[in-house]
Amino acid sequence: MDKRELGKTGEKVTVLGLGGFHLLEISDRDAVDIINTYLDAGGNYVETAAEYGGGESERKVGIVMKNRRHDCFLATKCHIRDRAGAEKTINESLKRLNTDHVDLLIYHHVQSDDDLEKIFSAGGAAEAFYRAKRDGKIRFIGISGHGVPDVLIKALDNYDFDAVMTGFNFFDRFNFPDTEDVLIPLAKKKGVGIIGMKAFADGLLWEYPEESLRYALTLPIDIMVAGFNRIDMLKKDLDIVENFRPMTEDEINELFDKNPVLGNYICRQCDLCLPCPEGINIPRVFLYEGWYDRQLRDRVIRPAPDFALRDRLRFWFDNRDKAKKAYQQLDVKADACTKCGECLPRCSYKIDIISKLENAHYKLTREVSSSIPV
């Protein structure tokens, strides 16, 4: 399996990493089989998190690490924001993993300025991380986040990290474009390793494994981490990366143009619909809709399994408040649309822009008094 350098760490990691979340769904025996199969195939990056099942994923990884710790670059994550709690969690993680150190410890799921402030303020988790590094319990420090990458960008601008982890896939590329357009160049400039996840958009792209992995690994990232609960799924991905060839620009454009999941609803942020006579920044409205619910509630009636999957993934990253606040700052809202139709023939993807503007405005201004999300 091909390897890439992980930023400035001096370490080389295989392009496919093994994530530990889905190990929660299977028995110890099956989890051990998957990890051993991955390592036997030449994979060398194994990752888990203290928050996965309250340490259950770490425990399962630890069964293998007891005998094969030297075979991999081992990473885990800590979700605790204060020093004392983080210290306790780090030590518990090491015990579950059957090791005296991990290669990479990641601040887990850093989503807000408040998260960042808690971590790096006096008495914050950063103090525990730095102490653990001095004590030889961790070698490198990373940070992870989901969805809108603004906090990760701010973190890399203001603090030193060895690695950053977030999602990369050809669906969310249009919901969170700054992940590719801003975060990747910033990480490259600073020598920060780029760890990808969610190549299959949390399962939304399950029917397109080859396109999904090829697209993600064509990006200038260092590794794509994927989780598995079946051996056949792991072997399929191993086969894809073993035969990997980067996508050409034409292949990427065809993927964006013709993939059914993108279809004629997802805005590709090409700006061809502009200018709007009423001054509506149409792509920006749709960007905030992507932040809100990944443009997944499109008013299309689908079979129950498809609807259930999309509905489950809508608020996976919970960027709703961020989306609504950003939308309120727009000078011209989507409800200024007069349905003149000038934008419609300009859209290469045949999006019904008028209807989509109405739907986006509804989402981004809706005040909900019940516990049922819209």
Calpha distance 259→247 (Å, rounded): 15
E strand or H helix at 89:
helix 83-96
| One-letter amino acid of 216 | A
Nearest 10 degrees: CA dihedral of 7, 12, 16, 20?
A: -80
Beta bridge partners of 194: 164
pLDDT in tens, 88-127: 999 999 999 999 999 999 999 999 999 999 999 999 999 9
264 is a domain residue = no
Domain boundary among 218, 239, 254: 254
pLDDT in tens, 308-350: 999 999 999 999 999 999 999 999 999 999 999 999 999 999 9
Beta bridge partners of 46: 18, 74
User: Quick one: 11 exposed, middle or buried, by C-beta within 10 A (0-12, 13-18, 19+)?
Assistant: buried
Residue positions counted in the chain: 374
- Whether residues 128 and 13 fall in one domain: yes
369: confidence class by pLDDT, cuts 50, 70, 90: very low
12 is a domain residue = yes
Q: Which one, of 262, 273, 374, 272, lies nearest residue 324 by Cα?
A: 374
Long-range contacts of 154-160 (CB under 8 A, 24+ apart): 154/113, 154/116, 155/110, 155/116, 156/183, 156/186, 156/187, 156/190, 156/192, 157/186, 159/120, 159/126
- Mean pLDDT value across the chain: 96
Confidence check: pLDDT of 370 > 50: no
- Whether residues 35 and 124 fall in one domain: yes
142 is a domain residue = yes
- Whether residues 302 and 237 fall in one domain: no
165 is a domain residue = yes
pLDDT at res. 30 = 98
234 is a domain residue = yes
Q: Please state the domain count of the chain.
A: 2
Residue 224 belongs to domain spanning: 3-254
366: confidence class by pLDDT, cuts 50, 70, 90: confident
Beta bridge partners of 147: none
Q: What is the mean pLDDT of residues 221-241?
A: 97
pLDDT in tens, 65-82: 999 999 999 999 999 999
- Whether residues 238 and 295 fall in one domain: no
Confidence check: pLDDT of 291 > 60: yes
Q: Which one, of 191, 209, 192, lies nearest residue 200 by Cα?
A: 209
- Whether residues 248 and 124 fall in one domain: yes
- Whether residues 230 and 294 fall in one domain: no
The residue written with tokens 């780029």 in the block is 194
With beta carbons less than 8 A apart as the criterion, state whether 246 and 214 touch. Answer: yes
Tokens (6 digits) for 170: 């050809």
pLDDT at res. 373 = 58
Confidence check: pLDDT of 374 > 90: no
Q: What is the mean pLDDT of residues 273-282?
A: 98
Q: Which CATH number goes with the domain that contains 56?
A: 3.20.20.100
Q: What is the mean pLDDT of residues 145-166?
A: 98
- Whether residues 100 and 150 fall in one domain: yes
325 is a domain residue = yes
- Whether residues 49 and 170 fall in one domain: yes
Q: Which one, of 186, 149, 172, lies nearest residue 269 by Cα?
A: 172
